[in-house]
């Protein structure tokens, strides 16, 4: 029985890891990584910095998804982020992934 529980925990961990990798792959496919990286500021802020800024903000996923979809300017400096060609579902997946980074 103990090994069954451990197997389920391992499977759950792999599924979570798989989702995170899929969401990072989506960020790469949508060219987000041209201006952002996980841990280092490039043209835009590092995703870990974005996650830290919005930590504890219950509305952060929706706020970031809207910015990903429509673009934005002024929160992280004067360089604008252009609108991105993503569906609302993709924008929400990307926002959720960014906010999960620590």
Mean pLDDT, residues 74-87 taken together: 93
Domain tally, the chain: 1
pLDDT tens-digit map of 81-97 = 999 999 999 999 999 99
pLDDT tens-digit map of 10-61 = 444 434 445 667 789 999 999 999 999 999 999 999 999 999 999 999 999 9
Q: The CATH number of the domain where 59 resides is what?
A: 1.10.760.10
3-state SS, residue 67: helix
For residue 71, is pLDDT > 80? yes
Domain range spanning residue 66? 2-100
């Amino acid at each position: 029985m103990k090994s069954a529980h451990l197997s389920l925990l391992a499977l759950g961990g792999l599924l979570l890891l798989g989702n995170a990798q899929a969401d990072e792959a989506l960020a790469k496919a949508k060219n987000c990584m041209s201006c952002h990286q996980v841990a280092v500021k490039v043209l835009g802020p590092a995703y870990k910095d974005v996650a830290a800024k919005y930590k504890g903000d219950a509305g952060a996923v929706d706020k970031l998804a809207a910015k990903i979809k429509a673009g934005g300017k002024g929160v992280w400096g004067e360089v604008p982020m252009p609108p991105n060609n993503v569906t609302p579902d993709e924008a929400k997946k990307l926002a959720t992934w960014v906010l999960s980074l620590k």
